[in-house]
Structure 1
Amino acid sequence: MTNSIRTLVAATFVVSLGAAASAEELRIGTASLGGAFYPMGQSISNVVNEHAGNDITMVPIVTGGSVQNPNLIASGEVEIAITNNNLAVLATKGIGPYTATGPIDIGAVAALHPSVLHMVVLADSDIQTFEDLRGKSVAVGPAGGGTLGFVNFLFPLHDMSIEDITPSFVSYSDGFSQLTDGTVDAALALSGFPAGALMQAAAGSDLRFIKFSDGMLDAAVEANSAYVEVEVPADVYGTEEAGMLIGVNNMLVAPNDLDAATVEAVTAAIFDNLAELQAENANARQIDPAMSLNLAIPLHPGAQAYFDGQ
């Protein structure tokens, strides 16, 4: 090999290393295993890695869930994350779970699937309504997840508090395993549907949804306009009856100081390849691009630039 060729090869190698080193890795905060956030984050990462260009990569991170994720953005532990409409508003205002952190400067990137509060018992359980959880052992998801926030919202409406149950703070997978092996009396999980952990539990056990007493679901939705009533059909988990549950719409969020061009590329990767995302992820089939223009917080400048161009 001549000196000139050696020089060219070496230069090419250095340029290649430089290009690899300059690639921006985005960590996307999801939730615990067994819910819908982690698979959604994984699927989003796949389309971003495939379509956002060589300068951007994305990797899903297991987290406590929708409550914790804005705080992880604030601390710089993730660059982008999934949360829900209600929590995004609280985070930008620095109230509720974010009082200690203070206002978090995040913008919306995309509307995602809705999450519903799965409230599940074994089919032969004596627990029929939410009030029947009093005195029972209940899996409520990780301490930093959205399930506990929902539960703490519902308890006062039912003249109850967290002290009225024996909570088990575990992942959704562990929570439904505890339900089927009899360690807990009920398992709750704020997740899109179908939720993997619940699908696995339903494969080996007969399950049933806990009901709201007459008028209580309406009262809950009226008490917080971010929440919606969601029907989960019986064939989703093989239950005898559909579940009439409470839910909330989710969104992808990012700090407003994250480079606008980066966020625009991520947004384009998602929505320009939505069919590919939906083919990989069942929850993604519930994504309506139009909902991204009507979210509870303003769009990130990069996401706004993408939608302005459509």
Structure 2
Amino acid sequence: MMKKGISFLLALLVVISLAACNQKIETSSEKEKSGDSKGLSVDRLSIVTGGTGGTYYPLGGEMAKIIGKELGVEANSQASGASVENMQLLQDGDADIAFTQTDIASYAAEGKEMFKEKVDQIAGIGTLYPETIQIVTLKDSGIKSVEDLKGKKVSVGAPGSGTFANAEQILKVHGMKMDDLKAQHLSFDESAEGIQDGNIQAAFITAGTPTGAVEALSATNPVTIVPIAEDKIKELMKEHPYYIEDVVKSGTYKLEQDVKTVAVLSMLAVRKDMKEDDVYQITKAIFENTDKISHAKGKLINAEKAVDGMGIDFHPGAKKYFKEKGNLK
């Protein structure tokens, strides 16, 4: 009788043990299905973007979703003061991934312009799309050229921002200085509201087109983009090689014709001390899922062009990915 009882208990223990093993396997399998971290050394990633009225902010949100889904980590996208502030956030270890302009990243790495010291803790993932310098005004403002901005209330971005640097450089090739304007330091959203309310006459906006703040303005007011003359574009590109020629296409913001201007490139940067494999997986997740980006700029983001125009060194993890793709030697 006692032997039977012991046998029963042993059999019961075996059943419980097998059930526990099965449960373990099942849980692991479910975790894999739901998106395990796939070997990343971190559980969370922070992405800093720009103001809510620009292009970085909505793109950052979409990329955070892609990274979260593909790599099984908590990826958070947050608004910021954009390029210049983002470089400092990476330097201070307060962000993992950042949107920035290529020119600003270059200034940061070299300790030039708005950077008094070298920002030495940043590395590149890849370039994304042209960031168009848009000088926005109302159609009936009477402003037809850059020279017409003289004496007007014009938003030029925050001092030390990428937009501010672009505005300064464009004014300079036209023989002008900031002092020639009644310069206002507003965000993109504030600039659009200021133009609509008549508090300012124009605004420099450096962002991918269409830009949310300008779209919102054009929905209620006929707007125009002030063109930059061909000779001034060439002069600007000669002095600052990171500029490229660009066009705001007709139909954008209900424009009746194309408008010639210039652009810099946008890019993604990371902290230099991030692990190579982590950055490799992040780079791969982004550039192999660009079809999941619904923003208009998603069509311009691809692995082939991502290696062009980088203003700083690639992170080893990003370099590994692009070499595998055959985009880098």
- Measured against the shorter chain, the TM-score band is 0.7 to 0.9
Partner residue of 1:28 out of 44, 47, 59: 47
Q: Is the 8 A contact 1:261 1:302 kept in 2?
A: yes
Partner residue of 1:179 out of 195, 209, 214: 195
Q: Is the 8 A contact 1:70 1:104 kept in 2?
A: no
Partner residue of 1:298 out of 310, 313, 316: 313
Partner residue of 1:130 out of 146, 149, 158: 146
Matched with 1:87 is: 104
Matched with 2:56 is: 37
Q: 1:97 to 1:144 in 2, by over 3 A?
A: closer
Pair member with larger Rg: 2
Mapping for residues 29-178 of structure 1, pairs under 5 Å: 29-52=48-71, 54=72, 56-99=73-116, 101-178=117-194
Q: Distance in 2 between matches of 1:131 and 1:268?
A: 45
The unaligned stretches of length 5 or more in structure 2 are: 1-15
- Structure 2 residue matching 1:234: 3-state secondary structure: coil
- Structure 2 residue matching 1:244: 3-state secondary structure: strand
Q: Distance in 2 between matches of 1:30 and 1:152?
A: 23
Q: Is the 8 A contact 2:91 2:119 kept in 1?
A: no
- Structure 2 residue matching 1:49: 3-state secondary structure: helix
Q: Is the 8 A contact 1:94 1:103 kept in 2?
A: yes
200-209 or 282-291, larger mean C-alpha shift: 282-291
Deviation at 1:275, TM superposition (A): 1.0
Paired residues in the alignment total 296
Deviation at 1:143, TM superposition (A): 3.7
Encode CA deviations 1:207-264: one digit per residue, 9 max, x unaligned: 1111224521221122111001101111111012222111011110112111112111
Q: 1:23 to 1:256 in 2, by over 3 A?
A: closer
- % identical aligned pairs: 26
Deviation at 1:200, TM superposition (A): 0.7
Q: Is the 8 A contact 1:64 1:144 kept in 2?
A: no
| Higher RCO structure, 1 or 2 (CA under 8 Å, sep 6+) | 1
Q: Is the 8 A contact 1:180 1:205 kept in 2?
A: yes
Is 1:192 paired with 2:211? no
Mapping for residues 247-262 of structure 1, pairs under 5 Å: 247-262=263-278
Q: Which runs of 4+ in 1 moved over 4 A?
A: none
Q: Distance in 2 between matches of 1:170 and 1:77?
A: 24
Q: Distance in 2 between matches of 1:234 and 1:216?
A: 22
What is the letter of the counterpart of residue 297 of structure 2?
Answer: N
Instruction: Give TM-score, length-normalised by structure 2.
Output: 0.83
Mapping for residues 269-288 of structure 1, pairs under 5 Å: 269-277=285-293, 280-288=294-302
